[in-house]
Chains A and B, each alone.
Chain A
Amino acid sequence: MCALSHYIERGSEGRVATTGVSLIREHAEGMKPPRSLFVPFPLGRPMGSPDQPDFQRDVLLSALQLLESATETALADYPHDAPTSGDDPWACAVALAPPEPANETEALRDQLVGEIRQLAPWHAESIKRRGRSTVGISGASLEQVEELATLLADFATGAEPSDGEIDWNHPMPVRLKFASDDLRAFYHEAATAQPGASYPTDADLNDWLFSRTLLGTVLRQIVGRMRESEDRRVAGLVIGMIPAGFAR
C-alpha cells in the first residue's frame, strides 16, 4: 500500500497526489507514503465498521484533508476507535451441534451438506437484506455451494478430488483455498443475518466457525493433510487456509 503511493505519484509525474489510511503504523513509518492516516481499526476494516456511514465518511474526509494541509510527508493519527455494537458477546443463534466427522468421503460430504442446509435459510435472509453475496471467488455459483463440500470431503478423506459441475477459477491446489474461502463467506454471511443485539467481529466468527461447526473441523483436517504433503505448492498454501491462531 505504502509503496503504491510512491509509484502512483511517480507514474503521474506529479499530477496525482496520494493519501490513504494505514492499518499498520510501523509500515507507514518505515515506507513514508506522502500522506497517510493511521487508523486503529482491525485489519480488513480500513474505514472502521460496517453500516456506519457517518463514521466512514469522517475517516475518509480526515485522510482527504491531508491533501490540502500537508506540506511535507505526513503521518496523522485518527483519534477515534471504530464503533462497536456494545459489550454483549455475540453467539450464533443457530446451534449446529456438529457431529464427529465421518471417515468415508460420501458420509462426510453428506454431513457437510447437512450443515450447509441448516444455514441456507439465514443465507437467503442475508441476500434479501444486503442484495448480494460475496460467495463466488472459487467459480462456484450460490446454487453450487453444496458442491464445494464435495471437494473438501474428497481432500479431507484422501480421495481423488472430482471436477464436478463447477467451472473452477483455479486449478488444484489453489482451488482448495478459494473453495474454503467461499464456504467460510457463506457461513459468515448466514451467521451475520441472524437477529441479535450485537454484530460479530471477525474474531467472534472465527471462534464460532472453528469451534462449533463441522466445516471448521474439516478445514483443520485439510490443513493437517496439506502440511504433510510432499507437494510444496500444497504445503505452501496452508497459510492461506485458516487464520493465525485457529489452525491448532
Chain B
Amino acid sequence: MVRTSDMHPDMAKNLLSLPLPEIEPQPWIAPRPLAETKVAIVTTAGMHAHDDRPFNPGSVEYRLIPGDIDYADLRMSHLSVNFDRSGFQQDINTVFPLERLRELADQGVIAGVSRYHYSFMGAQPEPTRLEKTGEEIGRLLAEDGVTAAFLTPV
C-alpha cells in the first residue's frame, strides 16, 4: 500500500502543496459499452519517441506516440526524479500499457485501439497551463474516431 502518508516527508509535502484548481465540469458523457469504445492512452510520464524532442523543464507541450511504435524507441525525459523509473526500464507497460490495451481489443473487450497516443510531462506546478494543449488533444482524438482516453500519471 502506497499513500502520501508512506512517502518521504519532503516529497509528500511537495505533492500535497501543489495547487488543485477547480475546473468547471463538462456535461456528463453518457456511459457507453466498452465493446463499442475505441481507446487512446494519454500519459503524463514525459515519454516520447527517441528521435522526437525531449521535454524541457516547465514544458506544457505534448508528444505524439504512434500506435505502432516499437517499445525500443520510447524514452522518458520527465524532469522529476521523485518517482520510480525502474518499472518503466524493465517493462514499458508498467507506465504505458499499450500491449495490454491491444490484448483487450484482440479479445473484443474494447472496440479498438487508437492509431495515436499522446504524452505530456506531469508534475505541473500550474495544471491550468495544460488547458490549450489538453483541449487540442480532445479535438484530435475526437476527429480520429476515438471515444475514450485512458490517462496514466507517474
Contacts and interface: CB of A to CB of B under 8 A. Distances in A.
B75 A136 contact: yes
A188 interface: yes
A196 interface: no
A31 B134 CA distance: 15
Interface string B105-116: 000011000000
A103 interface: no
Nearest to A199: B90
Chain A, interface residues (CB within 8 Å), range: 35 or more
A137 B55 CA distance: 9
Contacts of B76: 134, 137
Interface residues of B, number: 90
A136 B50 CA distance: 8
Nearest to A71: B31
B136 to A, nearest CB: 6
Given A1-B153, A27-B20, A48-B94, A10 B135 contact: yes
A14 B27 contact: yes
A91 interface: no
Contact of A4 (B16, B42, B77): B42
A7 B89 contact: no
A16 B117 CA distance: 13
Interface of B: 1-4, 7-8, 10-11, 14-16, 18, 20-29, 31-34, 37, 39, 42, 44, 50, 53-54, 56-57, 71-72, 74-77, 79-91, 93-95, 97, 99-101, 103-104, 109-110, 120, 122, 124, 127-128, 130-131, 133-139, 141-142, 146-154
21 contacts: A7-B23, A12-B141, A20-B149, A21-B153, A27-B18, A31-B127, A33-B151, A40-B2, A43-B84, A45-B94, A50-B87, A50-B94, A51-B90, A53-B93, A56-B97, A67-B32, A67-B148, A68-B37, A132-B71, A134-B88, A201-B86
